[in-house]
Amino acid sequence: MLEVGCGLGAQLTALREAGCQTIGLDLAPEAVRASRAIGHPVIIAEAESLPFRGESCHGVLCKVVLPYTDERRAIAEIARVLAQGVSPSSTSMV
């Protein structure tokens, strides 16, 4: 499960506790450091250019961050990395 805009890692923690394998992504170095400090794998990257292979994620969580992006590009990137058979509307929210 990829969280785009993971912030301090609260949702990553909830996802991990639910049994998901997670990775977070954020632009803010301080947020990345905080998430890593509680044990989450987190990278610095933009939503409009996700550094993952196509169809490599079984779920994507993206809360709050979309209005701060080029929304069309960010949504296209989310669609690109979602595994085949997984649609944005079928992913569950925590």
Q: pLDDT digits over 61-92, tens only?
A: 999 999 999 999 999 999 999 998 755 554 44
Q: Are 32 and 52 in contact (CB under 8 A)?
A: no
pTM: predicted TM-score of the whole model, two decimal places: 0.86
Give me the pLDDT at residue 89, please.
52
Boundaries of every domain in the chain:
2-86
The pLDDT mean for the chain works out to: 91
Q: pLDDT digits over 8-44, tens only?
A: 999 999 999 999 999 999 999 999 999 999 999 999 9
Task: Domain 2-86: give its CATH superfamily.
Answer: Vaccinia Virus protein VP39 (3.40.50.150)
